[in-house]
Every structure is written in C-alpha cells, then in structure tokens.
Chain A
Amino acid sequence: MAPNSSRPLSPHVQIWRWHPTMASSILHRATGIANYLGAVLVSVWLVLLASGPEAYGVWQDVKAGPLGILVTLALIGFTFSVVYHLLNGLRHLAWDIGLGLDAKGSNLRSLLIIGGSVVITAIIWIIGKGVI
C-alpha cells in the first residue's frame, strides 16, 4: 500500500510507555535478525572449512589476531540472541495454542525470559570458555 500522509496513523513506538511484553516483542525481532547474521557467519565458516586448510587459516588468523576480541564478543552476542529467540519462541508456540495470554503473567514471563537468557549465556561462556 502506498503511504498516504492525509490518513491518521496509529501511535508509533516512541508514544508508548515501555513495558516488558513490548520490549520482549521487539527483542524477538531484533534477535531474529541477529540470528540471520549468525547463520551467514556459520555458512561462511563451513565454506572456508570445505575450501581447505589455507582458507580455514583466514578464520583462525582473524580469531587469533587483534580483531579476535570482536569475534568473541560477536559469538557471545550470537549465543544470547539464539538463547533468547529460542526461549521466547517457545512462548510464542504456547501463545499459539492459547496458553499464557494474560497481561500480568506475560509481563512477568517477559522479564524472566530476558533475565534467564542473560544468565544462560553467561553460564555457557563461563563453563564452555575456550572451546570455541
């Protein structure tokens, strides 16, 4: 549909008071897009691996070089992104069969899922440190 400036618009994000379900909904989209980028990274990694030791050395050099810290930060971010999108995705599946649609409970579960994802990401990186 073509944009028509004479038509009334519904209030946009900046009009609303932020609340947990709104934040978790926006975060679900944001992490979905981040996961897309993560899948591009995994695919590129697989192509480098299949291209032989020399091509794979490019990845190993980047990881070991001065940009290595950025790779680690990206992987930590990717971990959070996958964990959050998965947990909130389970909630979406529950919503689809009519479970957990109350406003109060949804707000609480939004906070639990966001907080839980941070905790799970931290546990993964503390326990699994050095394996990647």
Chain B
Amino acid sequence: MSDFRTPLARVRGLGSAKSGTGHFIAQRVSAIALVVLMPLFLVKLAKNTGAGYEAATAWIGSPFGAILTLLAMTAALYHMRLGLQTVIEDYISKTGTKAALLILNTFVAAGLWIAVLYSVLALAR
C-alpha cells in the first residue's frame, strides 16, 4: 500500500483531521500521569484540609502541597478538556452549537487552570 502522506506529516503524528493521533496520545499520557497523581492528591487534600482554614492554607502553601496540587490539577484540567471535547464532537452534530460548546470547553478549562495557578501560588510560602 502506498503512503500518500509526506514524511514530515508522518513524523508529526497527526491524523486525517490533522490532530486525531495527537489528541489520542495526549489523552493517554495525561491519563497515565493522573493514575499516580489523582489518588495521592485527593487523599492528601482530604487529610490536610479538614481541620479548618489555617490547616488548609498551610498544606496548600507548603512546597509538597503546592507542587502536588498544581501537577494534579494541571493534568486533570488538560485531560478533562480533551475528554469533553470528544463527548461534544460525538453527540453534537449541529456545526454552530458544536463550535460554541468546544470554545466554551476550552475557556472553562483554561479559566479554571489560571484560577488554580493563581490561588495556589498566592498561598505558597
């Protein structure tokens, strides 16, 4: 079977819609990161933030707490944007509605990410 794709296109790893394979891989790589990060983050979060405001700010502001929170939330927001994008593309066939929801999905993920970044860094000591 002959390959009509240029060597450059093949190296970039992009599919016919120009980003399919890249999306697939990014979804998996972020999933692998989350398998480790999310249980650790949620257990530590539940353990260290139940005792009130002081305890919660102290843990989120600590080097371990801040770095773990940023890693876990960054991977989570990235992964969930890719995931919901697939859900929207699967179920919404109307072009305008689909485009609007895809844009909204990106804005929500990006907005939450900046909010999380700011909040954690503001508490970091």
Contacts and interface: CB of A to CB of B under 8 A. Distances in A.
Contacts of B80: 32, 35-36, 39
Contact of B84 (A32, A57, A130): A32
A55 to B, nearest CB: 10
A86 B49 CA distance: 23
Given A35-B80, A132-B46, A56 B35 contact: no
B35 A90 contact: yes
B67 interface: no
Interface residues of A, number: 31
Interface residues of B, number: 38
A43 B50 contact: no
A23 interface: no
A86 B38 contact: yes
Contact of B123 (A1, A35, A50, A132): A50
A131 B93 contact: no
A96 interface: yes
Secondary structure dominating the interface of A: helix
Interface centre among A47, A60, A92 (most CB of B within 10 A): A47
Interface in A68-96: 82, 86, 89-90, 92-93, 96
B39 interface: yes
Contacts of B71: none
Interface string A1-45: 111000000000000000000000000010011011001101100
A122 interface: no
Q: Closest 8 interchain pairs by CB?
A: A50-B119, A46-B119, A43-B112, A131-B50, A50-B122, A36-B80, A32-B83, A56-B53
